Structure 1
Amino acid sequence: MDKDDLRQLLNYVKEGKISIEEAIKKVQIAPFEDLGFVKFDHHRHLRQGFPEVILGLGKTPEQVVEILKLVKDRNHPVLATRCNDEIIEKVSKEIPEAEIHELARCITLYRDKVKIPEGMGKVLVISAGTGDLPVAEEAVLTLQMLGNPVEKLYDVGVAGIHRLFENYEKLLDARVLIVIAGMEGALASVVGGLVDKPVIAVPTSVGYGVSFNGLAALLGMLNSCSAGIGVVNIDNGFGAAFLANSINRIGRNVKK
């Protein structure tokens, strides 16, 4: 519950639209709300600038729908990640206004309410190959929901490095770069050697036999010879985007 919510609540009491007892109940559940299977954090947006994100992985379709309805009632932008087909089908039926992003495996509500604050730099999301797109799109959508200008640069892996060099200006124009790659994960090291910006590397589980479901890319990125590269977990587009958002907001309101 932010200041505007509290002000509106007090006005409702003053105008007699709700009782004092109802107002007390709303304030009591403001920090978090216990649904039995989850304690949803309503104050996450006050601390981190965005409401708690729903991880669909491991939840039933019914649980995801119940959480989405809870947050929907508060009119805040909502992001649900790692949603399977069953969750997407259930949400589509129960909450028709929800936006489905099949490639990113995400669901959003009230995306049109997200505003880009002044002074925000551009985040460039780079993927090595088409197989990395689900992770890349998860990162892009997360960045957009957090209020960042985003640009995409896809399918520019080291197997055809000229594709990257032809887009060199885009690398220079970004404030933060997210590099997503499977196989041996070499793209992050290449990009890190070309720019003086923060580079967040995301290994993906894309690759043949001894890629070990992304472990080879993870180790390759951790062992990068280019300085200034940070590495998140395998397939963690969401985590990379959240970190990029934090970096992008540093110094945003500092007057020169």
Structure 2
Amino acid sequence: MEVRLDADRIRRKGFSEVIFCEGKSEKQLLNIAEEIKAQKLDTAFSRMDEDQFGAVASVIDGFRYDPLSRVGHTDFGTIKKNSALMAVVSAGSTDVPVAEEAAQIIEFFGSRAERFYDVGVAGIHRLFDVLPEIRKADVVIVAAGMDGALPSVVSGLVSSLVIGLPTSVGYGIAEKGNTALRSMLCSCSPGLVVVNIDNGVGAALSALAASKIKHSDPG
């Protein structure tokens, strides 16, 4: 058996498995889609291209796909809305696909994602224009490539947890996101945690887990 769907993950973790499509064959994805359909298990797919979308959509009626983020998902209606609010921020417009992956996953799992894109440090006034709205969020995700400076700046200005999301945007010494990653990891701004390069899914799931703690009943 080439694929084994982790149908029990939603019980263990509170979130269903997110299917990573990159490198999977059409046969593997069709097998996954058949199992998801049989169980009516609401599931998201990441790094999905147009051909993979077509294959899965041929099995699952009403399957949805966002080409910018390359996120697809089922819509069986089993995921309940919740009151958590996340801010998803990008430094530049070229960081948006990675930021949007995070936003799409957040919304799929029933939380709200408010988007604040292209507010990087090269024009810091753009950040200040939207800062009052960002401060309302339970958790803030900040996607940045190049120098990766924006997450540290945001973390110094808000009381919420900030998740740094380094992107592979950049050239030369930017090293496909490694410079942004290192910049975020060595930040002196408190309350900033960091996920892997281009890991919008990981940032989203971390934000959702943190918001559950914040909204949990202490009694």
Q: Could you state the TM-score of these two structures normalised by the residue count of structure 1?
A: 0.81
Equivalent in 63, 85, 94 of residue 122 of structure 1:
85
| Distance in 1 between residues matched to 2:76 and 2:7, nearest whole Å | 18
Q: Which has the higher contact order (CA 8 A, sep 6+)?
A: 2
Conservation of the 8 A alpha-carbon contact between 1:68 and 1:78: no
What are the Cα deviations for residues 79-116 of structure 1, in whole angstroms up to 9, with x where unaligned? 01111233123234444521011111111101654322
Query: Is 2:164 aligned against 1:214?
Result: no
What are the Cα deviations for residues 18-70 of structure 1, in whole angstroms up to 9, with x where unaligned? xxxxxxxxxxxxxxxxxx10121111111112222111012012211220221
Equivalent in 146, 153, 159 of residue 109 of structure 2:
146
**Residue number in structure 2 paired with 1:170:** 133
What are the Cα deviations for residues 205-248 of structure 1, in whole angstroms up to 9, with x where unaligned? 00121111100100111111211100000000000100000000
Following superposition, which runs of at least 4 residues in structure 1 exceed 6 angstroms of deviation? none
Query: Is 2:52 aligned against 1:74?
Result: no
Mean Cα deviation higher: 103-112 or 179-188: 103-112
The one-letter code matched in structure 1 to 2:71 is C
Residue identity (%)? 42
The one-letter code matched in structure 1 to 2:30 is V
**Residue number in structure 2 paired with 1:103:** 68
Superposed counterparts of 1:226-237, under 5 Å:
226-237=189-200
Q: How many residue pairs get matched? A: 219
Equivalent in 47, 50, 64 of residue 85 of structure 1:
50
**Offset, 1:252:** 2.3
**Residue number in structure 1 paired with 2:25:** 60
| Distance in 2 between residues matched to 1:242 and 1:102, nearest whole Å | 20
Conservation of the 8 A alpha-carbon contact between 1:62 and 1:90: no
**Residue number in structure 1 paired with 2:13:** 48
**Offset, 1:170:** 1.1
**Residue number in structure 1 paired with 2:165:** 202
Alpha carbons of 1:44 and 1:231: their partners in 2 closer, same or farther (altered >3 Å)? same
Conservation of the 8 A alpha-carbon contact between 1:111 and 1:145: no
| Distance in 2 between residues matched to 1:174 and 1:254, nearest whole Å | 19
Structure 1: stretches of 5+ with no match in the other structure: 1-35
Query: What's the secondary structure of 1:150's corresponding residue?
Result: strand
Conservation of the 8 A alpha-carbon contact between 1:77 and 1:145: no
RMSD: 1.6
**Residue number in structure 2 paired with 1:29:** none
**Residue number in structure 1 paired with 2:145:** 182
| Distance in 2 between residues matched to 1:124 and 1:221, nearest whole Å | 18
| Distance in 2 between residues matched to 1:223 and 1:111, nearest whole Å | 42
Q: Could you state the TM-score of these two structures normalised by the residue count of structure 2?
A: 0.94
Conservation of the 8 A alpha-carbon contact between 2:41 and 2:76: no
Query: What's the secondary structure of 1:54's corresponding residue?
Result: strand
Query: What's the secondary structure of 1:226's corresponding residue?
Result: coil
